[in-house]
């Protein structure tokens, strides 16, 4: 597989590391990870760095994950890049909002590395062709 | 509708948001015994600790002796149910939980430990409300707040209901409390 460039957006640095570890356990190697602590920081990363995959929390201060997604689309950033939401919010309404905002995947916390593999690999193999 | 990871069911929605809340409000009140079911808390703790830490927790009957330094994480509920999920432990449990979660070792409650405990509380709150469909859809979560220190108490006046359970984690213990102070 080609090198994956992944943006992980979560206000918890611990959770960003756990998500990164889960991606590696899922077999995504080699990967370069860009971290952002909010949607605002995520947009800054995307304006400078091309990525193949975005994983984002929803509940975050300053700009939540859904607004982050809307802003990505509104600013034509990361076109064609799959976005997966990783969040404690799993109601149908949140999933519906995520779809409307442009998410392709949804992982509920708590999660296992196996779940990350199941939900993420089909999306990235389409992008990288690995 | 199918999104990668979640299948959208049919027939659970009752029109617009306002209409939904009206229906849900009635069912939340009517199903208070389900919302306040103590088993949901045990199952939520089991789920979070098994999936994220690969650890089992045993429910304890008695509150352990309090350590000098304690850590408390609070995640607020808002919407049809208002209240909070409160995680509290001594430093030994907090350090052990953070170590299992991150794969790192800690000797004191630093920012990473506080972050880890806040996330555990966040997942517990989400898992607990996710066990009641009406709550899952109509109750939001706040960003976790974490308090450390000693000799402090958290007071809530006249809650609608309160669940308080103590669990053993490795050789230490932690407490999880669900406080509901408003049910619309």
Per the CB < 8 Å rule, is B122 touching A14?
no
Residue B12: band (very low, low, confident or very high) from pLDDT cuts 50, 70, 90: very low
Alpha-helix residue ranges (DSSP H) falling in A3-112: 13-25, 39-48, 65-74, 92-101
| CATH number of the domain encompassing residue A20 | 3.40.50.2300
Cα gap B51→B30, rounded to integer Å: 32
Question: Three-state SS for B62?
Answer: coil
Average pLDDT over residues A42-65: 95
Pairing of strands A31-36, A4-9: parallel
Identify the closest residue of chain A to B134 by CA–CA distance. A91
Domain spans of chain B, in order of start: 15-183
Cross-chain Cβ contact A88/B52 below 8 Å: no
Contact list in B for residue A60 (CB cut-off 8 A) is: 143
The fold adopted by the segment(s) B15-183 is Chemotaxis protein chec (3.40.1550)
Residues of chain B positioned with their CB less than 8 A from the CB of A107:
5
Residue B124 C-alpha, separation from nearest chain A C-alpha, in angstroms = 9
From chain B, pick out residues whose CB is under 8 angstroms from the CB of A93.
137
Beta bridge partners of residue A55, listed in sequence order: A8, A84
Which residue range forms the structural domain that includes residue A22? 4-128
Report the half-sphere exposure of A99 (CA within 13 A, side-chain side): 15
ipTM computed for the complex: 0.89
Q: Could you read off the pLDDT of B126-181 as tens digits, one per residue?
A: 999 999 877 888 899 999 999 998 878 877 788 889 999 999 999 999 999 999 98
> What is the least distance, in Å, from the CA of A96 to any CA of chain B?
8
Other residues' Cβ atoms within 10 Å of the Cβ of residue B39: 9
Angstrom distance (rounded) from CA A79 to CA A52? 10
Residue B123 pLDDT more than 90? yes
Chain B closest CA to A36's CA: distance in Å?
Answer: 15
Q: So what's the pLDDT on residue B136?
A: 84
Domain count, chain A: 1
pLDDT of res. B147: 95
Residues in chain B with CB shorter than 8 Å from the CB of A88 are 122-123, 125-127, 130, 141
């Amino acid at each position: 597989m080609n090198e994956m460039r992944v943006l992980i957006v979560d206000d918890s640095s611990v959770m960003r590391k756990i998500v990164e570890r889960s991606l590696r356990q899922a077999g995504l190697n080699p990967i370069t990870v860009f971290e952002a602590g909010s949607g605002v920081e995520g947009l800054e990363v995307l304006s400078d760095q091309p990525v193949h995959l975005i994983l984002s929390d929803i509940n975050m201060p300053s700009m939540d994950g859904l607004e982050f997604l809307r802003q990505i689309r509104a600013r034509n950033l990361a076109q064609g890049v799959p976005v997966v939401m990783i969040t404690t919010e799993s109601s149908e309404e949140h999933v519906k909002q995520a779809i409307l905002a442009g998410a392709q995947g949804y992982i509920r916390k708590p999660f296992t590395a196996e779940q990350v593999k199941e939900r993420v690999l089909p999306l990235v193999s389409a992008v990288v062709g690995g | 509708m199918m999104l990668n990871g979640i299948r959208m069911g049919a027939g659970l929605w009752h029109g617009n948001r306002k209409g939904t809340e009206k229906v849900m409000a009635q069912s939340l009140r009517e199903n208070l015994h389900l919302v306040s079911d103590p088993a949901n808390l045990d199952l939520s703790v089991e789920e979070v600790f098994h999936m994220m830490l690969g650890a089992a927790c045993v429910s304890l009957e008695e509150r352990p002796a309090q350590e000098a330094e304690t850590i408390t994480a609070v995640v607020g509920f808002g919407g049809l149910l208002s209240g909070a999920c409160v995680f509290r432990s001594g430093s030994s449990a907090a350090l052990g939980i953070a170590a299992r979660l991150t794969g790192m070792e800690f000797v004191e409650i630093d920012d990473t430990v506080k972050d880890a405990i806040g996330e555990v509380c966040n997942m517990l709150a989400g898992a607990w409300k996710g066990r009641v469909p009406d709550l899952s859809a109509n109750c939001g979560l706040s960003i976790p707040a974490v308090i450390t220190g000693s000799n402090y108490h958290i007071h809530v006046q006249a809650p609608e209901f309160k669940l308080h359970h103590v669990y053993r984690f490795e050789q230490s213990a932690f407490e999880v409390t669900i406080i509901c102070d408003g049910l619309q």
